[in-house]
Amino acid sequence: MSQAELLPKGGARKRSGMVEVPAITLAHGGGGKAMHDLIKDVFVGAFDNDALAPLEDQARFSLADLAAEGDRLAFTTDSFVVNPLEFPGGDIGTLAVCGTVNDLAVGGAKPLYLTCSVIIEEGFELSTLRRLIGSMADTAKQAGVKIVTGDTKVVERGACDKLFINTAGIGVIRKGYDLGADTAQPGDAILVNGVLGDHGATILTARGDMAVKTPIESDCAPLNDIIDSLLTAIPRTRFLRDATRGGLATVLNEIAQASQVGVEIEEDKTPIRTEVKGFCEILGLDPLYLANEGTMVCVVPAEDAADALACMRQHPLGKEASVVGRITDHRPGRVVMETVFGGRRIVDMLVGEQLPRIC
């Protein structure tokens, strides 16, 4: 057969392993050639690394290499169903990497490897999928982690909302770190690395359900670099947590209950953008419960507070860092805010869901 006879009409040869249809079909989850082409083209092409390249059913690592990074493994998993998939400051791909990297980093771990499992709705545009997986690859590179294995499922139209992503992560905890919500002690200082509520406000605005517009972008970012700097400068750091669903208020309540201490914060020291405050006033929301994706809560001994604050402010993700409160021995298990009017109010754990599908 001649070379010309191998070419389809129009003279263009289909590239081997390339997906050239405009949308995902059920065949892309069926285990055959269509699925293998999708994986190699969209996922392997974006995540290319030595651990992923063999395309086995598992990624394989040297125990000696892991042990060289620390003495304990950290392992986490998270699922992402955010609506809309793309929003100012990020998208579901960025969110999936940042969320898992941050869950490892706040435990004192160095994030190393991630998985990527996707559930895709039949008919989902291939160009959008490429863009979102590209965001995952770019964010993983920024965070210094590798996406090494995963899974792809395609479901019928209406069985899921466009795209869901699950990521799991492995990191190694360096010797000497034992961070936890149960380690806070009276006198400790409470810090945050940036403004609060940007992600939650961004997502609700991006949905377009309400005639509210704000020039806010999600704070979505990998925190492992700033956390590494902080732990190096302040090795006595007691606790770190990214303030995602439930916001600052929920994290503070977790500390108060786990350590059986009181938590006091000051409203005028809590960094919230004027735009977010106005947004919350209009909609009747409390910014202390809004989700964040690049903001962490930190507890350090009081004598280390000034150095911790200075360390964070030297990092691009900590320029607006603040000391927002303190740990006390009053009212164990309670979080209390000193308001700008000189009064006090209890900041309780979030009941229910203030904003669904925020991450």
Q: Tell me the CB-side half-sphere exposure of residue 79, using CA atoms within 13 A.
A: 6
Helical H segments across the chain, by residue range = 3-6, 33-38, 45-47, 63-67, 92-105, 126-143, 198-207, 224-233, 247-259, 274-283, 305-313
Give the per-residue pLDDT at 211. Answer: 66
Of the options 3.30.465.10, 3.40.50.2000, 3.30.1330.10, 3.40.50.300, the CATH number for the domain spanning 17-173: 3.30.1330.10
What confidence tens digit (pLDDT) does each residue in 106-120 have?
999 999 999 999 999
What pLDDT does 227 receive? 98
pTM above 0.95, yes or no: no
* pLDDT of amino acid 16: 52
Q: What is the pLDDT of residue 39?
A: 95
Q: Which CATH number fits domain 181-346: 2.40.420.20, 3.40.50.720, 3.40.50.300, 3.90.650.10?
A: 3.90.650.10
Q: Tell me what pLDDT residue 18 has.
A: 86
Q: What is the mean pLDDT of the chain?
A: 93
SS3 call for 147 = strand
Which regions of the chain are under pLDDT 70?
Answer: 1-17, 210-212, 353
The C-alpha R_g of the chain, in whole angstroms, comes to 23
Calculate the CA 176 to chain-centre distance: 25
Nearest to 163 by CA among 171, 175, 173, 155: 155
Domain boundaries, the chain: 17-173, 181-346
CB atoms within 10 A of CB 153: 14
Structure tokens at 71: 């003495």
Question: Both tokens of residue 138?
Answer: 């770019």
